[in-house]
Each structure stands twice: as C-alpha cells, then as structure tokens.
Amino acid sequence: MAELSGKYLVGVYDDDDTVLHAVPRLRKAGVKIKEVYSPFPIHGMDEALGHPRTRIGIAAFMFGVTGCCVALTLMIWTMGIDWPMIIGGKDPISIPAYIPITFELTVLFTAFGMVITFFISNGLGPGTHAHPRFDVRSTDNKFVMAIDLGRNSMTVEDISRALKDSGAEEVNIKQF
Amino acid sequence: MASAHSIPSIEERFEFTSEAKRNLLIGGGVGLALVALGAYLAATGGGHEAAARGAEQAAAAVGHAGAEHGAAGHGAAAAAEGGHHAKSWVARIWANLWVNGVYFTGMSVVGMFFISYNYLAQAGWSTVFKRIPEALPAFLPYMGVVMLLTFIFGGHDLFHWTHEGLYEVGGPEYDKIIAGKRGFLNTPFFIIRLVIYFAVWYWLWRVIRNLSLKEDEIGGTEFYEKSIRFGTAFLVVFGVTSSTSAWDFVMSIDTHWFSTMFGWYTLASWHVAGLAVITLTVVMLRERGYLRAVNSSHLRDLGKFIFAFSIFWTYVWFAQFLLIYYANLPEETIYFIERFRGHGGFYKAPFFITLFLNFFFPFLVLMTRDAKYTHSILKVACWSVIIGHYMDFYTNIMPGTVGAGAELGALEWGFFLIFLCAFAYSIASQLEKANLIPRNHPMLEESLHHDIA
C-alpha cells in the first residue's frame, strides 16, 4: 500500500443528516474513516465515528493540582519561611489569606495547560504545518468526509462506490 | 433527529405504593421515638457534658465581654444564661424545630425557584423531569405552620431580640444596638413577614402548578406563556424575600452580628440542597422503573448543577469568612469565634464537617464525567449535600439559641428524620397527582432529545 500513503478519498455531502447516516453505513461496510469536517458540530457524530473519548479532563485535573501546589509552595516559602512577613496582623503562614491566590493559580495552570496540551496533541501552533485541507467548502456549506487510503485495505473503486451509495455528491482524490 | 436514542413512553403514572407509605411512616415513627428518647435523656439531666460546657462558656464570655466592647451585650447575656445551667432542654426542642423548619422550607421553595428560572430562561432540557421540582413546594404550608407555631411558643427561647427588657431605656438589660433595630425586628412585623413569605411563595406555586396541570389536559402554548410571567414574578419576589427571610430566620438569632453576604449564603445553601433533593428523587424514581425518558445527559446536567452550586456555596461561605477574618473586627469575628472556640469547642466539629460534606466530598466525587450519571455516585453525593446542609443550618442556628446546651444526638437526628420522611411523603403524594412527564409541555420534544454527547 506504499503508493497510497498520503492519498485521501474525499467525499462531499450536502446535508448533515445524510453524512451522519453515511458514517455507520460505511463503517459497517469496512471503510475506515479518518474524519468528518463540518461547518457546525453535528450531534451524535462523535459516537458515530467511534472516536475514543478525549482525555483532556485528566490533564486538566493534573494541571489544576500542579497550580494549587505551586501557589501554596510559593506563598508559604516566600511569606512564611524565606522572609517571614506579618501582614494585616496575621501569622506569616495564614492559609485563609492564601486561598484566593491558590484558586487563581489553579485556574490559570488549568486553562493554560489545557490550551497548550490541545495545541501539542493536535499539531497546532506557531511554526507547525497547516493541516491538510480536504475541501475548503467544509467551512461553508458542505460536509466533508476524509478517508485515508493508506490505512484502508479496500480498493479505491470500492470505497468510491460506497461513498456515492451513501449519498456523497462528489468523490475526489487528494494527494498531500 | 441525530441521536439514535429511542424515546420511551411519556405516559407514566407514579404509584405511591402502600409499602412506600408504610416505610415512610415507620421512618417517621423511628424519628419520633428518637425524639422521645433524646428529650427524656435531656430532661433527666443527661446533659452533664453540656452543663460543664455551659460553665466554661460563662467564664469565657465574661472575658470576652470585658475585652470586646462591640460584643459586650452578647457576651454578658451569654454569661448570664451560662450561669444557670446553659439553657433548658425545652429550648433545644424549639431550636431543633427551627433548624429543620428553616432547612425544609428552603428545600421546598427551591423547587419553585428551579421551575421559575427554567421558565424565564425558556430552558428545554429540564422539562422531562419538571414534575419533581414542581412537587417540592407543596410542603410549604406545613413548614409555615411549624415555623409560625415555633416562633409564637418558642420565640422567646430562640430570639434574643424578643426580650422586652432590651428596649427599656435605662433598664438593666437595655441594649442600644438591638433597640436601634427595633423598627424591623419586632414580634408583630416578624410574624407578618413570616406569613407573607409563605403565603406569596405558596400562592405563586399554586398558580404555576395549576397552569401546568391544565396544560397536561388541554395543551397549547398559552399555559407556557403564562407560566413564564408568573415564574418571573416569583423570581422578583424571591430575589427580595430569599434575603429577608434569611435575615429573619437565621441571622437575627445572633442579633448584634450582621453580614451582607448572609442572604446569598442562605440562598446558596437552600439551592444546592434543593437540587440534591430533585436529583435524588429523579434517581430513585428511575431505579423504580419510572422516568425512562430521562437519559444520561439529563442526569449529567443535574450532577453538574450540584457540582457547580456546591462550589458556589463554598465560594459565598468563604467570601463571608475571608472578609471577617481579614478585617478582624471584634463585633464581626465573634460569630466565628463562637463556632471555633466558644461553648467548649462543641461547634468546631460540625463547622468543619459542614465544609467537608458540602464542598470537598461532592467536589471530588462528582468531578469526572461518568460520575455525574452513575446512579450510586449521584445518590452518595446528594445525601452528602442534604446532610451537609442540615449541618450548615445547625451550625448557624444552634450557637445563638442553645449555645453550650447543644448536642448532636438522638433528639437532633430524630427531628431530622421526621421532617425528612414527611417531606418525602409530601413529594410522593404530589407526584401521584399528575402524569410523571408533562406530556403537553411545548419544550418536551426538545427535552426528550437532550443530548450533550
């Protein structure tokens, strides 16, 4: 299949309902779908495509715990140990006074951590190559399904026919 | 359209079985027995520990009274009371009735609050289980009677400001600060306010409930439009009365002390407890085979609601605490000192248990996505919140009413059980009165397809 790597079959659909029903049909027929691009989120598409669930929640929790620990360590060390200071008549280490900042840093670490994780895991960000654009109309009025030929064992003709049968109005080949 | 969920039937009648009725009555009976046992123990001098705390408190209060001018009246009064065996066990019974009265009033009225803001926002997702919040406020009249009678007969034991001597200029008990609040805090006006709260809340609920029941029979959007208007009216009323009732029912117990956060704080407490009751009822109905049309997305949203509002309660709790802690003014800190160190340190445990049950536990347990629709986890979280907010009102009301004479024993849990069973009985009999799913609600179709993926 070496000659097929980097080659994609692109099915263009006109209707979100059609594409949503096409996905399980094609998967049943043995076609491995890379992704579906749509101008708006389609309810039920994630389950239909069978994508594994995102693990960003776990990452968020880790970032949050990190932020919480960093904030407490920073304040306890600077205010209480390295250079003890009495502010407002409170003990140098006074946890209630630290809670707002702890909260803020927890949120900050979580938010930034999640964005950075998202960028890295999706190969986005400055200096990275733009994602292959299968069909620019997927940002306007069309629903575009991408099939990586390198990862499919079926012949191009078979997949093309299956796409047409499932309601695609055009099927194109893209090479990257 | 998109989702492949099959929609189960929307025609279901809830049956309040005789077995369920019997169980609730047994629960109430057990509660009554516990109350009797607790009252017997308290009356026959079972409160040695409490008496010892009372003496200790008296000594401490004298110290406070000398040192802290703002709190002098409070401290001196406590010292006087502490001298003759804290307060009697009768006061403990009044205080228990009051704690539960305030708490269950709040949970009932939050049902109306929930429906109203959902109407105002024209929310669709909640329609399928709308009958459950709708069933809660039916308990209001009973709570109104309990609170009114408790105030009339036990008010003197509960509210320091009802003592006539405080207002005699030049008298031995004269208290300038409390006398200054007399325009608001006086018995006739208090009773008028109490009656108005219950009357208006209940009346607005009856209107919405009747509209909802008629809509079930006739259909159309007319009832929905009217409900939006009445729901909005309720929110306007509740915006004011939730705060004023919190001042009246809870904050005025510590008459000298005030906090501008208190209305919010009590509303937050009531709200999250009410959400826990709604969620728990939905889950329990599902376990008994009802409400099959409620899917995991509805449950997740309810779970999120509890998760978010337990954080909101903590936020308000902490906002109130931090300002008082930081400003460190004696007349304000006395409130927390009483709960931390006062009364022989009795309230320290409930104070921290409250924080644990209402924040740390639901926060950690409900954090993951799957937890929010898992029945067993939702139930544990709901119970944690329901008991936690009982403890919350307990720590708010008890120190100023029974002070060192307080306990957390058979009497307290017995009363809680009685109220809980009565509340459940009231909810179940309301649910029986109508189709469990509002079949002609204009938003029902949207709600049945609720899908947050």
Q: How far is A175 from chain B (nearest CA, A)?
A: 32
B interface with A, Cβ–Cβ below 8 Å:
1-4, 318, 321-322, 325-326, 328, 367-369, 451, 453
Interface test with B, best of A15, A16, A47 (most B CBs within 10 A): A47
CA angle B441, B443, B446 (to 5 degrees): 135
* Residue B106 domain boundaries: 32-448
Has residue A130 got a pLDDT over 90?
no
Residues B190-239 pLDDT 10s: 999 999 999 999 999 999 999 999 999 998 899 999 999 999 999 999 99
> What is the reported pLDDT for B324?
93
Percent of chain B with pLDDT over 70: 89
Model confidence at A3, in pLDDT bands (50, 70, 90)? low
Mean pLDDT of B400-423: 92
Quick one: what percent of chain B has pLDDT higher than 90? 76
**B452: confidence class by pLDDT, cuts 50, 70, 90:** confident
Residue B271 pLDDT class (50, 70, 90 cuts):
very high
The answer to whether the Cβ–Cβ distance between A57 and B369 falls below 8 Å is yes
Is A42 close to B2, i.e. CB distance below 8 A? yes
Number of domains observed in the structure of chain B: 1
Least confident of B50-59, B154-163, B430-439: B50-59
Residue B3 pLDDT grade (very low, low, confident, very high; cuts 50, 70, 90): very low
Answer yes or no: is B419 within a domain. yes
Residue A153: per-residue pLDDT: 85
Q: What is the pLDDT of residue B205?
A: 97
- For residue B70, the model assigns a pLDDT of 41
Helix (H) or strand (E) holding B386: helix B375-401
pLDDT by residue (tens digit) across B92-102? Answer: 999 999 999 99
- The pLDDT mean for chain A works out to 89
* Structure ipTM: 0.80
Q: With respect to residue B374, please indicate whether it lies within any of the assigned structural domains.
A: yes
Distance CA B243, CA B193 (A): 12
Whether pLDDT at B284 is above 70:
yes
Does B21 map to a domain? no
pLDDT digits (tens, 9 = 90+) for B133-153: 999 999 999 999 999 999 999
pLDDT of residue A151: 85
Residue B13 domain-assigned (yes or no)? no
Chain A residue at shortest CA distance from B450: A43
* pLDDT tier at B79, thresholds 50, 70, 90: very low
Q: Give the pLDDT score at B54.
A: 53
Average pLDDT, chain B: 89
Judge: A20–B2 Cβ closer than 8 Å, yes or no: yes
The full DSSP string for chain A is: -GGGTTEEEEEEES-HHHHHHHHHHHHHTTPPP-EEE-SS--TTHHHHHTPPPP-HHHHHHHHHHHHHHHHHHHHIIIIIIIS----TT--SS-HHHHHHHHHHHHHHHHHHHHHHHHHHHTT-STTSPPPP-S-GGGGTT-EEEEEEGGG--S-HHHHHHHHHHTT-SEEEEEE-
Contacts of residue B60, defined as CB under 8 A and 6 or more positions apart, other chains included, come to B341, B342
Residue B125 covered by a domain? yes
The reported pTM is 0.87
pLDDT average, residue stretch B37-52: 72
Per the domain annotation, does B219 fall within a domain? yes
Higher-confidence residue: A53 or B429?
B429
Asked if residue B3 is part of any domain, the answer here is no
What pLDDT shows up at residue A2? 52
pLDDT (tens digit per residue) in A56-106: 999 999 999 999 999 999 999 999 999 998 988 888 999 999 999 999 999
- Measure CB to CB from residue B326 to each of A17, A43, A97 and give the nearest one: A97
pLDDT in tens, B331-341: 999 999 999 98
B4: in domain: no
